[in-house]
Amino acid sequence: MKDVALHVSNLTVHYDKIPVLWDINLDVPHGKLVGILGPNGAGKSTFIKALLGLIKPVSGSVFFLKKRLREIKGKIAYVPQKEAVDWDFPITVIELVLMGRYPQRGLFRWMKKEDITSAHEALDLVGMKEYMHRQINELSGGQQQRAFLARALLQDADIYFLDEPLSGVDHTSEEIIMRILKNMAQSGKTIFMVHHDLNNVEEYFDWIVLLNVRLIGAGPKAEIFKRDLMQAAYGKNFLLFDETVKISKDRASGVI
């Protein structure tokens, strides 16, 4: 596969000798919006953390754009789950966003005028410029996620990892976030996004990584978002979802 953004070989992760991810092998091309799907406990967040070196795997190798993490770390951005952030930390929105430049400038260097300008532009893009001087704990859930996305944008990475960025956000924030992510993928960025709502998978993603401890499937959405593979990952829960979707479609078409 040409222009591989992510290559994973034999990745296995254990927690207290219990396998959380088992022998994951996959390649993902550059410039895709990738949905990481699977039921609760499937290892989706662990997968991201293992790729980024935040968790040490038992075995396996990971390459980003054919390079090791240490060689390309400044070109990878990560937006964690909201629950992993200390929202009481005394920092304003603009200060949070400017942290996206730390990999380039260093932790203790002054920001340049161009950094401030870029931060304003990122906040404007996510619809958060008017909130730039607010403390982050004064924001709603959707606003917090948009602020963290602005920070990631300021990093100007090649590959982005977002862990459930749509969890608990309002409809407006979800639309803004997805519009930006789609535009980024179209411009050549690669975005990996842990996602739980199966209703909009086909609308949101180009590519899917389907996990349940093992890799169930990885590839274009038309090849992976199929009944047999989804049932293999989700079991009875997918059968219930599938039946609910059919009933909704029948109602919309006037069949029932």
Domain edges within the chain:
28-55+65-225
**CB neighbour class for 216 (10 Å; exposed up to 12, middle 13-18, buried from 19):** buried
Question: How many whole angstroms separate alpha carbon 210 and alpha carbon 220?
Answer: 11
- Strands 214-220 and 33-37 turn out to be unpaired
pTM of the model as a whole: 0.87
Annotation: CATH topology of 28-55+65-225? Rossmann fold (3.40.50)
Low-confidence ranges of the chain (pLDDT < 70): 1-2, 84, 102-110, 237-256
